[in-house]
Amino acid sequence: MSRVVDASMRLIYDSRGRPTVEATVSAEDGGQGRAGAPSGESTGATEVQAFPPGGVPEALLRFRSDIRPGLLGLSVEDQAGVDAFLHRTDGTANFSGIGGNTATAISVAVALAHAAEAGTPLWRSLLRPGLDRPTDPAIVGNCLNGGRHAIGGPEIQEYHVISSGRPSESIPAAIEVHREIGERLKRKYPGMALGRGDEGGWVAPLGNVEAVELLAESCAAVRDRRHAEVHPGLDLAASEFFRDGKYVYRERSLDPDGQVAFVAELVDRFGLRFLEDPIQEGDYDGFTAVTQAVGRKALVVGDDIYTTAKDRVAEGVRRHAGNAVLIKVNQVGTLSDTLATVDLARSAGWKTVTSHRSGETPDGWLAHLAVAFGSAGLKCGLLGGERVAKLNELLRLASPPGA
């Protein structure tokens, strides 16, 4: 048994320049783990609270007074025990006592310390039952930003390339799609200023369907040029533009049935392979309708509707409300809760897609989780140091030193 002999927590900044927390945990044989917690902007209503009411300063105070004394002496091999201690110390149903980001940083730092003690990479120590060897997650890479992650872009939040194959092939192909879109935007808007959004995708004054068209054409161009498996996908984050019973786009508003028909048409017309949050988070039936319509052609992925919570995913499985779930550790706050959701999804035959947040840290551990979970996708963006850190870690995993 290897015990925690030291633990600390500090304020760090995320990729939007907002404060978050980072935990460092040391175990008795010298293994150390350090993990920062990311932050969302288009958060699901049922995800845990990132910080206590007093924000990061209160999170740091709670760490020193309540968490650190109890954490010292716990075994880094006992992830479930550590995570149960975090829940007990928090004492609320949504981590509003200590903050879900505090819990996430500590939980992942303990797992990293354990892996370091054991001399194994994190993915191996977390590998799910039934997975005897690592699989390559497809890269889900954000190419165009809208919604709450961009100023002046379309309402649909994220336009992705889904790139499969070995990381040495999937990553450059995905980046090439991003670059292709940039070239096309420069030609379309000569001399105009173009920017990038929170997740590194381009921001341009495009209409919603116009942007899907640009994405699909750019994927096709790269597919032809490189013979690469790159296909378009979307995260609509539909809760963000659902108002008074309607999905409100700049071009028009749609009622819930109209929204199902619209997204099904997008899948058929543009060959989308990935469709996240096409329906607002309160509407399981809408997800079921979309899954019936296009679930054989595309991953229908629930993010805001499930918020990585096991009970919610179980309800979704019962109702056939999707065929995949997005996995974000800090939506539930601990690795143990995350693993329970991943295992449930896997046993139900659902896919998982392991995901970053829009406000990220330059940590690479997310790539290990995607591999350990046997995820169909690693959704981590393409550009920006905090996104590239995950891609580079995936490359390291695929060809470890000496291999």
Q: What Cα–Cα distance (Å) separates residue 295 from each residue in 142, 285, 292, 299?
A: 22, 14, 6, 6
Q: How far is the CB of 222 from ligand PGA (least distance, A)?
A: 23
Q: Map the footprint of ligand PGA across residues 9-28, applying CB under 6 A.
A: none
- By CB under 5 A, is residue 303 in contact with Zn ion? yes
Per CB under 6 A, the list member of 231, 273, 357, 390 interacting with ligand PGA is: 357
Left if phi > 0, otherwise alpha if psi is -120 to 50, otherwise beta: which for 274?
beta
**Residue of 237, 317, 369, 378 interacting with ligand PGA (CB under 6 A):** 237
SS3 content of the chain, % helix, strand, coil (to 5): 45, 20, 35
The alpha carbon of 188 is separated from its chain's Cα centroid by a whole number of angstroms, namely 31
Each residue of 249-269: b (16+ CB within 10 Å) or e? beeeebebeebbebbbebbee
* Separation of alpha carbons 272 and 298, rounded Å: 6
By CB under 6 A, residue 40 contacts ligand PGA:
yes
β strands within 2-137, DSSP E: 4-13, 19-27, 32-36
The C-alpha atoms of residue 68 and residue 334 are separated, in whole angstroms, by 16
Residue (158 or 363) nearer to Zn ion, CB: 158
**86 Cβ partners below 8 Å, 6+ apart?**
67, 98, 102, 103, 106, 107, 333, 334
Of 11-19, 41-49, 88-96, 201-209: span binding ligand PGA (CB under 6 A): 41-49
Shortest distance, position 309 Cβ to ligand PGA, whole Å = 15
- Of the listed 117, 155, 328, 393, which one is catalytic? 328
> Which of 155, 283, 303, 386 is close enough to bind ligand PGA by CB under 6 A?
303
Q: Count CA atoms within 13 Å of residue 54 on its CB side.
A: 8
User: Which one of residues 83, 90, 198, 235 is an interface residue with Zn ion (CB under 5 A)?
Assistant: 235
Strand order in the sheet with 32-36: 4-13, 19-27, 32-36
- Measured from the CB of residue 263, what is the shortest distance to Zn ion in angstroms? 14
**The tokens of 224 are what?**
């032809």
Q: Which residue's Cβ has the minimum distance to ligand PGA?
A: 40
Verify whether residue 310 is a known catalytic residue: no
Q: How far is the CB of 235 from ligand PGA (least distance, A)?
A: 5
| Closest distance to ligand PGA from the beta carbon of 41 (Å) | 4
Give the nearer residue to ligand PGA in terms of CB position, either 308 or 355.
Answer: 355
- When the beta carbons of 117 and 303 are compared against ligand PGA, the nearer one is 303
Q: Is 246 among the catalytic positions?
A: no
- Sites of contact with Zn ion (CB under 5 A): 235, 303
- Sites of contact with ligand PGA (CB under 6 A): 40-43, 235, 237, 303, 355, 357-358
Active site residues: 199, 328
